[in-house]
Amino acid sequence: MAELATGPTRRSHRASCVKREADSPTSSRCALAGLYVHVPVCRSKCRYCGFYSVPADGVNAVRFVDGLLRELDRHEGIEFCTAYIGGGSPTSLPADELVRLAERVRERSPRAQEFTVECNPGQVDANLLAQLREAGVNRLSFGAQSFVARELELLSRGHSVEQIEAAVLAARQAGFKNVGLDLIFAVPGSTLADWQASLEAAVALNIEHVSAYSLSFEPGTVFEAWRGTGRLTTVDEELDRAMYEWTIERLDRAGLVQYEISNFARPGFECRHNLGYWANRPYVGIGPAAASCLTEGTHACGVLRITNDADIERYLAAVESGRAAPAETQAVSLDDAVCETAVLNLRRRGGIDRAEFQRRTGRDAIQVFAEPIERYQAMGMIEVTDRSVRLTRQALPVADTVLCDFAALD
């Protein structure tokens, strides 16, 4: 793991780390990181989605995948422990190109225990899924979002309830033993019964993993505009909370245990790739708008966060001419890294593992965050044991309000 030694010998590497970063940010030889491949391409834009994406029919898929692979080649020397192709919708690429991408990613990460591809349930068939399985993909995450037809229509997902069920079935038939669904609750107009129906349908599919998010109105989206004009109204806060609490309770009964604020899994099927984010371990993101986080092996060097430019043309022009993808590099100070680690860790149901935190940041979480920890402990929002600091059950619905007190040091 990239976590690191804290001894004086490593500190002396500080200068050289920075220098290395200047010409090639990812030349660390032995780092074990997550690999994320971003495909910001969609067949159509969903009305609620605030992420950058471009229409699939405007993208030369061969050229785009070539570009991704060129960028991937630049990261030689890094060994990946997980791989994840996400989007956008990776499945909006022609099947051949997606499979070619998956094959190459697998080649580059032979020891990755988990290799996920995000799929739109309306964009897969038995053939594609079999080829992905063949290419070494071992986990699928379906953007199901809802099992209520009215909601799918409103969200403009471009797939039906039946297609979700068919996609999961096809995944099983292709041999996938690790399948997850993304779901969205608190969709405008939705009732608790609607959400309960979606959860029942998900549970009935016997999947291994659920990510459940409450809908947020993002700037620049159709939803946000519609809310502005009164065409949509946000779901009442109490209902939102009731939906969330029902999610935790119902999925738990189905054997899908909450392991992060929005994530639930059968024991052993927690998403390893995402666990890397919440542990604040290093990861490499390739593709337009993808983010990397490189710790260079020791916290003494601080953390570098590199965010690729979103523009596909500029991205391709750069990588095709053998240059690095245009990106913004942000050096995260040690203090900020401490805060990020705390915020990310606290999203996990297990919270901050004090020993892990100490190893990663060189600081004692209890000391660094003494004030908010004590305050929230008194309010029953945080519990502390010898080994961990974590949010209590009642803190989960208002996690942001609690976490913001860990977002900066005074």
Residues of the shown chain interacting with another protein in the complex, contacts defined by CB under 8 A: 34, 36, 38, 211, 213-214, 216, 237-238, 240-241, 244, 261-262, 274, 277-278, 283, 285, 289-293, 305, 307, 330, 336, 339-340, 343-344, 347, 375, 378-379, 381, 394-408
β-strands 382-384, 263-265 pairing: unpaired
Question: Cis (ω within 30 of 0) for the bond into 88?
Answer: yes
How many angstroms separate the CA atoms of 301 and 305, rounded? 12
Strand partners, 149: none
Q: Which CB atom, from 156 or from 377, has the smaller least distance to another protein?
A: 377
Structure tokens at 160: 């039906």
Residue 345 beta carbon to another protein: minimum distance, rounded to whole angstroms = 11
Considering the complex, what minimum distance in angstroms separates the CB of residue 399 from another protein? Answer: 6
Separation CA 107–CA 99 (nearest Å): 12
- First CA to last CA distance, the chain: 31
Is the CB of residue 356 less than 8 Å from the CB of residue 365? no
What DSSP string runs through 160-215?
Answer: -HHHHHHHHHHHHHTT-S-EEEEEEE--TT--HHHHHHHHHHHHHTT-SEEEEEE-
For residue 51, the minimal CB distance to another protein (Å) is 9
- Between the alpha carbon of residue 44 and those of residues 51, 55, 140, the distances in Å are 12, 6, 21
Distance, CA of 222 to CA of 332 (rounded, Å): 34
CB 89 within 8 A of CB 40: no
The answer to whether the Cα torsion of 340, 343, 346, 347 is positive or negative is negative
Q: How far is the CB of 50 from another protein (least distance, A)?
A: 10
Output the six-digit token pair for 356. Answer: 């892990």
Query: Which tokens belong to 204?
Result: 């009935």
Is the separation of the CB atoms in 288 and 307 below 8 Å? no
DSSP string, 283-325: EEEESTT-EEEE-TT-GGG-EEEEEE-S-HHHHHHHHHTTPPP
Find all residues with CB under 8 Å of 116, minimum gap 6, and list them. Answer: 82, 83, 84, 85, 86, 137, 138, 139, 140, 141, 271, 273
Q: Are 74 and 324 in contact (CB under 8 A)?
A: yes
